[in-house]
Amino acid sequence: MIDELVTPEVGTPTRRRKVPWGFVVAGVAIAAAIGYLVIANTSATADYYMTISQLRTCHACDSRAVRVAGIVEQGSVVRDDQTQVIRFSITEGTDVLPITYAGVVPDIFRPGITVVVEGQLGTRGVFQARTLLAKCPSKFQNATPAPAQP
Amino acid sequence: MRFSDLGAIALLLALVFAVYGIVASVLGARLGHAGLVQSGRRSVLLVSLFLVTAAVALIASFVRHDFGVAYVAEHSSLSMPWYYTTAAFYGGQEGSLLYWALMLSLFAALAVGLSRRAPADLMPYVVATLLAIEGFFLVLLVFVASPFTRSRLVPADGSGLNPLLMDTGMLVHPPMLLMGYMSFSLPFAFAMAAMLTGRLDAAWLRSIRRWMLASWTIQTLGLLLGAWWAYHVLGWGGYWGWDPVENCALLPWLVATAYLHSAMVQERRGALKVWNLGLVIAAFALSIFGTFEVRSGLINSVHSFAYSAIGPWFFAFLAVILVVAVGLFVYRLPRLRPEQEFESVVSREGSFLLNNLVLVGIAFATFWGTIFPLISATFGHQTMTVDAPFYDRVNGPLFALLILLMGIGPLLAWRRASWAGVWRNCRWPALAAAVVAIVLPLLGMRAWWAVIGFAVCTFAAGTIVYEVWRGVRVRHGHGEAYPVALGHLVGRHRQRYGGYLVHLGLAALAVGVIGSQFFQLERDANLTHGQHIAIGPYAITYVATSDVARGDVETVTAHLRISDGGRTVEDIYPGRSIYANFENQPTSDISITTHGLRDLYVFLADWNGADQVTLRVFLNPLVPLIWLGGLVMLLGGIICWWPERRRVVASPLLESRVARMEVAV
C-alpha cells in the first residue's frame, strides 16, 4: 500500500502548502478498515437483548440467538446431576419463561437473583440457554436495573 | 465525638477549602497577586489533610465496628479479619468515592510539591482545575452519598462484605483501577491550564507527558491486576471478558498510549498539537465515564453495582467537562498551528500518526460496543448487545496491525526514511517472522489468524532485540563489556529503551493472548473415586473430598492427582469456601498449576458428599506469558517515567557515535 504513495521530490523548495497525500491515503485506508470492521461485525454478532414479553411477541426470534434477563423463580429450579441439565424459570413482572440449560452453573446462581440467559426459544415455549450469566453483585444490594425498554 | 462525626466534618471542611482554593488561585493569577496564588496552593495541602482525616475516620469506624454508621454495617461484620475490614473502606460506593477523592487530593498535593519544575504561570490554573474536580467529588460525598450517614437503629452485627470481594486480588485491583482513573485528572489539569492561559508552547507538554506516563503505568497495573483477579477467582478459565466494566478501564489506557506516542511528534516536530490536546481531554473524559459507568446502571454489566442516585450527577459533571474543555479548545485553535509540515508517511512521525489512528480506532470500536445497547435502544427498535466475538473480530486484526507498526516504527528516521535503510534494519526480524509463518503450519497449526499473529509478534520482538543488540555492539566496540554496555544504553536513553521494553512486553502478552484464545482446551466431567478425565497430555484423577469448617468459613476441598503419561506430576486441591453470611454464594479456590508455558486450570463446579465431584478443567497454553509480558510492560513504563539525573557524559565520542547511529536508522 505504502509503495504507491505519492512522495514529493526531495530538494525542491516548498513554497505553497502541500497536501500530504501519503498521509491522506494511509489515514483514509485505516479509517475505512476500522469503519468496515465495526459495521460488519456489529451486524454479524449483535444479539437481541429483550424482556420476556418482547420475546413472546417477537417474530424474527425463531432463527436467531437472543438474550433475556429475569429473576430466577422461587421453587422452579430442578437439577439433574447425571446429565448436568438444569431447568428453571425466570420471571419479569407477570411474565414467566421456562429455561433449560446444560453446563456449569455460576457460583451465585439461586432463586431470587437476576440472570441473563443467551440462547433460542425452542418448541413449546421452552428457552434453550447456551450461556447462563449471573449478575455478580459487587455490592450486596438488591437493586439491579432491568434491560432498557426501547 | 464519634469518628463518623469527625469524618463528616472533615469532608465539609475539605469542600470549603476546595472552593476557597479555586477562587484564590484564579483571582491570584488574574490580579497577579502572589500571596493569593500561594494561598491557593496551600489550600490543596489542607484539602488533602482533611481527606486523609476523613479516610482515617472511616477506617477507624470499620476497625471499631461502629455499625451505627450505615456504610460500615453494610460492608463489614464482626467476624471479618482486620485486613478485609480495612479494605471494606473502598468496597462500596460511598467509600470508593471517598477513596477517589483522597487519591486525587494526594496527587494534587504531589503536583503542587513538584511544581518547581513546571511553568509557574500555569500552576494556579492547574490547582484550580484539580480543586474543581475534587470539589465535585466532595459535593457528592457531603450531600449525596456520604459514607458517614448514621442509621437510627444500630444493628448488632454488620452484613459483611460480599465473599467474591474477599480475595487478595480484590484488596488491590479496584483501588488500583480507581487510582488509574483518578490520575488522568493531572494531565487534564495541565492541559486546561495551558488552554486557559493561552501558553500553548512546549512548556506544558513536558509536565503533561510525565503525568500521563504515570497514569499509563498505574492503569496498566490496574488492568493487569483486574485480569489476574478474574483469572484466579471467577472460575471461567479466562482473564478478560470484554465486559463493559473492563472496557471502560481499557478506554483511557488506549487513548493515553496514543498520546504518549503523538506527544513525541509534537516535541520533535511541533506538529499534532490539536490532536494531542484532544487526546488529553478524551482520556480524562473517558476516565470519568469509566468511574461513572460502572456505578450508574447506565449499561448492563455482569458486574452490577448498586443502582444509585449519583448517576445523573456524574452525567452532568461529564457534560460540564466536555462543554468547558471543548469550548476552550475551539477558542484556542488559532494558537495550535503546527510549526512544521509532515513530509513522508515513511518516517517516524508517519508511523506514530498511523499508530495513533489504530489506537483511537480500537478505542472507538470498544466504546461503540460498550454503548451499543444504548445506541440500538435509542435509534433502533430493540436493545441489542455485542459481546466477546465482536471485540475479538474487530480488535484482533487492529491489534495485529498495531503490533506490526510497533515493529516498523522505531526503525524509521524522523522526517523521511529511506526504504533501503528500513530494509537493512528489519530484514533479520522479517526473516524470523517468515520462518515462524512457514514452520507453524508445517507443524500442523491450522488457525491462520493465530499463525499471522505469532509471525507479527515475532517480527516486532525481533526488531527490538536487533535494535538493542546493535546499540550494545557499538558500545562494546568501544571497550565496554556487554552487560555494562546494555546498562549504559538503557540508563542514558531511558525513554527510548523503556519504550522498547514496553513493546517487548506487549509482544509477549499478545503471544499469550493468541495462545489462550485459539488453543484453549475445556472439559467438563463428573468423577467418582478413581475415575479420571484426560485433557491434552494430562490425566486428572479424583482421589477424595474433605470438608472443613473453621470459624465462619466452611471449606470443601477435592483432592485430585495430575499425571502425564502415567507419571504423577502433582496433587492439586481445588475447593469452595462458604461464608456464614453468604451461604448461597460459595467462592472458588481454583487450582492453577503452570507446566512449562501451559496452565492447568481446575475448577470445582459441584460436589456430592465425599463420593462425586463435578469439575471444569481448562488447559490454557501460553497464559504465563501474559503475566510476564505485563510485568515487562510495567517495568518499561517505570523506566520511561524515572526522572533522569543530570547527564554525566563519560565518553563524549561514544555518546555521539551512539546518537548518530540512532539518527541514522
Residue range B366-386: mean pLDDT, rounded: 84
Please tell me which of the candidates A22, A37, A50 has its beta carbon nearest to residue B345.
A22
Of these ranges, A141-150, B286-295, B512-521, B602-611, the one predicted with the greatest mean pLDDT is B512-521
Minimal Cα–Cα distance from A50 to chain B, Å?
Answer: 7
Domain ranges for chain B, please list them.
Answer: 1-162, 539-615
- Please give the residue that has the higher pLDDT: either A56 or B500: B500
* Cβ-based neighbours of B83, under 8 Å, separated by 6 or more: B171
Distance from CA of A17 to the nearest CA of B (A): 8
* Residue B47 pLDDT greater than 80, yes or no: yes
**Cβ–Cβ < 8 Å for A115, A134:** yes
- Judge whether B414 and B347 are in contact, CB under 8 Å: yes
Residues of chain A in contact with residue B383, where contact means CB-CB under 8 angstroms, are 48-50, 147-150
Quick check: A46 and B376 CB within 8 A? yes
User: Letter for the amino acid at B108?
Assistant: A
**Rounded Cα distance, B62 and B90, in Å:** 11
Contacts of B442 (CB under 8 A, 6+ apart): none
**In A, which residues are within 8 Å of B377 by CB distance?**
148-150
Cβ distance of A136 and B614 shorter than 8 Å: no
Of A31, A144, A150, Cβ closest to residue B382? A150
Amino acid at residue number B172:
V
What is the average pLDDT across B518-524? 90
The answer to whether the CB atoms of B616 and A46 lie below 8 A apart is no
Q: Which of A38, A136, A143 sits opposite B394 (nearest CB)?
A: A38
Judging contacts by C-beta atoms under 8 Å, the chain B residues touching residue A49 are 300, 373, 382-385
Q: Check CB contact under 8 Å for A136 and B91.
A: no
Q: Which of A26, A34, A67 sits opposite B345 (nearest CB)?
A: A26
CATH of the domain spanning A48-134, picked from 3.40.50.300, 3.40.50.2300, 2.70.70.10, 2.40.50.140: 2.40.50.140
Q: Which of B297, B373, B398 sits opposite A34 (nearest CB)?
A: B398
Check residue B291 and give its pLDDT: 84
Q: How does pLDDT run across B412-434, given as a tens digit for each residue?
A: 878 777 778 788 888 889 999 99
Site from A50, A139, A141 to mutate, B interface, most B CB atoms within 10 angstroms: A139
Q: Which residue of A has its CA nearest to B349?
A: A23
Is the distance from CB of B17 to CB of B46 less than 8 angstroms?
Answer: yes
Asked if pLDDT for residue B302 goes beyond 60, the answer is no
Q: Return the percentage of chain B with pLDDT > 70, whole number.
A: 92
Give the span between the Cα atoms of B154 and B231, in whole angstroms: 38
Reported confidence tier of residue B165, pLDDT bands at 50, 70, 90 = low
Put simply, the answer to whether B361 touches A30 (Cβ < 8 Å) is: yes
Contacts of A114 in chain B (CB under 8 A): 304
Cα–Cα distance, B410 to B433 (Å, whole number): 17
Closest Cβ–Cβ partner in B303, B373, B401 for A148: B373
Q: Which residue has the higher pLDDT, B53 or A92?
A: B53
Interface test with B, best of A138, A142, A149 (most B CBs within 10 A): A138
Of B343 and B365, the one with more pLDDT:
B365
Distance of alpha carbon A5 from alpha carbon A22, whole angstroms: 5
Predicted confidence at residue B282, as pLDDT, reads 95
Which of A28, A30, A83, A86 to mutate: most B Cβ within 10 Å? Answer: A30
Distance from CA of A110 to the nearest CA of B (A): 7
Chain-chain contact of A41 with B384 (C-beta, under 8 angstroms): no
User: Cβ-count burial of B662 within 10 angstroms (0-12 exposed, 13-18 middle, 19+ buried)?
Assistant: middle
Per CB-CB distance under 8 Å, the chain A contacts of B387 are: 45, 47
Predicted local distance difference test score (pLDDT) of residue A134: 75
**A66-72/A47-50 β-pairing:** parallel
Residue B550 phi/psi, 5-degree rounding, is: -140, 115
Beta-carbon separation of B354 and A30 below 8 A? yes
- The span from the CA of B497 to the CA of B493, in Å, is 6
Predicted pLDDT of residue A145 = 33
Whether residues B305 and A138 touch (CB distance < 8 A) is answered with yes
State whether B297 and A145 contact (CB < 8 Å): yes
Q: How far apart are CA B86 and CA B649, in angstroms?
A: 49
In total, the C-beta contacts within 8 angstroms joining chain A to chain B are 176
Of A2, A37, A145, the CB nearest to B394: A37
Complex ipTM: 0.78
* Count of helices and strands (H, E) across chain B: 20, 12
CB-based contacts of B505, cutoff 8 Å, min separation 6: B628, B629, B630, B631, B632, B633, B634, B635, B636
| Portion of chain A with pLDDT greater than 90, in percent | 5
Query: Cα B89 to the chain's mean position, in Å?
Result: 21
Helix %, strand %, coil % of chain B (to 5):
65, 15, 20
Is residue B645 very low, low, confident or very high in pLDDT (cuts 50, 70, 90)?
low
Specify whether the CB–CB gap between B162 and B258 falls below 8 A.
no
Cβ distance A139 to B368 less than 8 Å, yes or no, reads no
* Mean pLDDT score, B474-491: 86
B389 vs A contacts (CB less than 8 Å): 41, 45
pLDDT at residue A13 tops 60: no
Sequence-distant (6+) residues with CB within 8 A of B552 are B79, B579, B580, B581
